[in-house]
Structure formats: structure tokens, C-alpha cells
Amino acid sequence: MSTREPTPAHPGGPPLGDGTRLVHAGDEPVVPGAPLRPSPVFAAPYHLGDQPPGTGGADGYARPDNPTLRVFERAVGELDGGDCLSFATGMAAISSAVLALARPGDRVVLPSDGYYTTRVLARDELERFGLRVELVPTLEIGDVAARGDLEGARLVMLETPSNPQLDVCDIAAVARATSAAGAVLAVDNTTASPIGQRPLALGADLTIGADTKALTGHSDVLLGHVSAARTDVGRELHARIAAWRKTTGNAPGPFEAWLGHRSMGTLDLRLARQAANAAAVAELLAGHPAVRGVRWPWRAEDPSFPLARRQMLRPNGIVSAELADIDAVLQLVRTSRFFLAATSFGGLHTTVDRRAQWGGDAVPEGFVRFSCGIEDTADLVADLQRALG
Ligand SMILES: Cc1ncc(COP(=O)(O)O)c(C=O)c1O
């Protein structure tokens, strides 16, 4: 299921696959006697000697930039096809992208059905700064764009596939509209991951990731990033967001950056197993009489399937479905061995999250988001069969 990068290793050579790109992303050419990957550099200030800060490109202070962050950002930027800035969390990346660009009075269009904390950010913080926030469903943003209604917007953010309902919208079509309207298009690419979808190649100005999820994939680190397109607009946005991060100070520490880089090397393998597990779990759920509304954008029956197949590069492990009620979800969690009750997604472990318990999503009480992990498919299927009865 792995996709291949159009850029070959050598001019005229074969294109590189995801596995190769991920293992080598960000690395300098090997040096005999040196480790394959540099260790994290733990420093806040750097020794200046008798030189002014920044002399010959030397580091002075870790907040704006440091060697470990640079390597990690180079790696993620390579995957996205843009210039990356890493943040302490996914929400730090999203809030920075909005707040670095928008001014009081600006119209900002956000998804009404994406990750709910983005809506909390809009309601509790952005409106306080005088931004005019408009919430549009993922399935409607294409029509809004086609009608020319993005005219006058400063920033449009999409989340596709949306979390948790897994609707998909056409990034390239919205990008044409935002570009014509002089608006910035940012895409929250978290559910897809940088190897599952390349928003910058589809015309977005910014792609955003909550790297807490599949990119790092071990449920042990919080990280986020924004990558900007390598265009004049993208370079300007990158400079603005970098300045914002330097001043507000929400960069990750070197340990997190190093751990993120260390973890992402296996994304190709993890995503392949997670997707295989999701295909089996979705099929089983869809065939069960007590389960409704199964969503996995790569099931041929899914309403997102035609667009997902055209726009995305590969599937992942996130499935959503509606069980009868709260008790049915609790029963599933109690009786299964491997479907662990936990929020977040994209990790090694299979998890099930009853979204209504968080109060942010407009979903029924029995609506669950499954994040299929990397366990053996047969074990998950047997466990789920037993638990559903
Ligand atoms: C789609 C999406 N974007 C952003 C975030 C925020 O990420 P973080 O929890 O790292 O701040 C999440 C977290 O669940 C998410 O699902």
C-alpha cells in the first residue's frame, strides 16, 4: 500500500518508496565513525565565546532554533514537500497558524465538524481577538468555494478526512478558490499523515499535523507541525509563523523533536498494518446487526471513497461507527481484550473512543472512533467478534 515519491534518489533513477523516505528523512550524508542519526543536543543557551550571536550560523539560544529541531523539521518538511516548523502540540501548530496570520476583523473559515478543540479555540480565543470566525461543514466547503463565497476570507482551514466523522473534501478545488480569493488555505492533515495525503501538492499553502498521532505513533509524545509551500506566499507565511513561534515560545524541546524523528521512521510499516486492521474491523462492524453508520473512507461503500481514492495516497487505521448506546460501548470495552478505551489515535495499540463523553462533537451517545493499532489482524477480529457477540 506504500506510495512512491516522484523524486528519484538519483537523476533518472527509480522513485523512492515511503519506507525509504521515512528511514532517511532529514538525515545528513553518513560519516564513517559517526552515529547514523545525531543524538539530541540538550542546551538552552550555546557558548558564544567572544563572537556575536549567530556568527557563522552557530546557535545562540534554543528557543528560536536548535540543531535537533532543524533535523526533525527537515525530515517532516521532506515528507510534506514544504518547509516545516515544529510545535509543542498539534493545537500549538493550529493556533499559531491562525494567530500568526490573522488580524482583527479578518474572516477565518474553520471546519464545523473537525477536531473539536479547534472550535473551542475559535469560540474562546479567536473571537476575543476580533477575528470573524465562520464554521463550515467539511462536506459543504466545496460548494461554498464553488459559489465564490470565500471571497474576503483571510484564512480557510480544512480538516480532511475530518475527525471523527471521516468526511473528505476536495483540497485542490478549494485551493483554486482560495487562491483566486487571495485567502490562505491551511489543511489539518492529521488523520491522513504526511504520507497519506500531500495537501501542498494539491495547492494548499500550509499543511498542519498533530504529530502526537500517527506520525510519531507510540502514544508517548505530544508534537505538532506546520509546513509551508515552497512558493512566494508559502515562504512569507513560513517567516511569519517562525517569528510568531520565536516570540510566543511554543517550540518543542530537543528530546521531543528527537523522539519524533526516531519514531517516524516506522510510519510506513505501522500505517500498512493499521490500514489492514481497519479494513477488517470496518468489514466486521458493517456486517454486525447492532452497528450502524460504519465509516472508513477506503471501503468501496463509504461516501468518502471516490474522493479519498482520487485525492489520498493510502489508507490509515481510523474507523468510526455507531453502537446502540453508551452501554453497548461499555460492554465492548469490558469484554474485549485489545480494544482499549482511550482517546487520541494513530498509536500501536487499538483503541476505542466514545466521542460524546468529551462533549465537543455533535454525535450520538453510542458513536465511537476506533483507532486500529498494529496487532495481528486475526487477533483483533477474533477479539471484536467475541466482544460484539
Ligand atoms: C485532527 C486533529 N488536529 C489537531 C489535534 C490536536 O493535537 P494535540 O492533541 O497534539 O494538540 C488533534 C488531536 O486529537 C486532532 O485529532
- Interhelix angle 377-388/326-335, rounded to 10 degrees, is 130
Model pTM above 0.95? yes
What percent of the chain lies above the pLDDT cut of 70?
A: 97
- Assign domain 4-264 one CATH number from 3.40.50.970, 3.40.640.10, 3.90.550.10, 3.40.50.300: 3.40.640.10
Looking at residues 355-377, what average pLDDT do you find?
A: 97
Closest residue CA from atom 2 of ligand 1: 115
pLDDT band of residue 315 (cuts 50, 70, 90) is very high
Q: How far is the CA of 13 from the centre of ligand 1 (A)?
A: 37
pLDDT given for residue 7 in this prediction: 59
| Gap between the Cα atoms of 313 and 85, Å rounded | 23
Q: Does 70 or 12 have the greater pLDDT score?
A: 70
| pLDDT over threshold 70, residue 322 | yes
| pLDDT over threshold 60, residue 5 | no
Looking at residues 107-133, what average pLDDT do you find?
A: 96
| pLDDT over threshold 60, residue 205 | yes
| pLDDT over threshold 70, residue 193 | yes
Q: How far is the CA of 225 from the centre of ligand 1 (A)?
A: 11
pLDDT band of residue 4 (cuts 50, 70, 90) is low
pLDDT given for residue 25 in this prediction: 97
165 ligand 1 Cβ < 6 A: no
pLDDT given for residue 14 in this prediction: 81
Which residues lie below 8 Å from residue 188, measured CB to CB, with a gap of 6+?
A: 94, 111, 114, 115, 118, 157, 158, 159, 160, 208, 209, 210
The pLDDT tens digits of the residues spanning 154-170 come to: 999 999 999 999 999 99
pLDDT band of residue 187 (cuts 50, 70, 90) is very high
Q: Quick one: which atom of ligand 1 is closest to the CA of 163?
A: 1
| pLDDT over threshold 90, residue 1 | no
The pLDDT tens digits of the residues spanning 34-52 come to: 999 999 999 999 999 999 9
List the one residue out of 350, 287, 80, 319 whose CA is nearest residue 197. Answer: 80
List the one residue out of 277, 275, 281 whose CA is nearest residue 313. Answer: 275
Q: How far is the CA of 117 from the centre of ligand 1 (A)?
A: 8
210 ligand 1 Cβ < 6 A: yes
pLDDT given for residue 2 in this prediction: 52
| Gap between the Cα atoms of 199 and 176, Å rounded | 13
Q: Are 249 and 31 in contact (CB under 8 A)?
A: no
The residue extents of the domains of the chain are: 4-264, 267-388
Helix (H, G, I), strand (E, B) or coil at 353: strand
Average pLDDT, the chain: 96
pLDDT given for residue 161 in this prediction: 98
pLDDT given for residue 333 in this prediction: 97
The pLDDT tens digits of the residues spanning 76-88 come to: 999 999 999 999 9
pLDDT band of residue 8 (cuts 50, 70, 90) is low
Q: Choose the residue to mutate in 213, 220, 226, 320 for probing ligand 1, maximizing ligand atoms within 8 Å of C-beta.
A: 213
Beta strand segments in the chain, E: 4-8, 15-17, 83-87, 107-111, 132-136, 153-159, 184-188, 206-210, 224-228, 292-295, 318-322, 340-341, 351-354, 367-371
| pLDDT over threshold 70, residue 325 | yes
| pLDDT over threshold 70, residue 243 | yes
pLDDT given for residue 80 in this prediction: 98
Taken in order 377, 378, 384, 388, the sign of the CA dihedral is positive
Given the residues 63, 70, 246, 292, select the one marked as catalytic.
63
- Assign domain 267-388 one CATH number from 3.40.50.720, 3.30.300.30, 3.40.640.10, 3.90.1150.10: 3.90.1150.10
| pLDDT over threshold 80, residue 12 | no
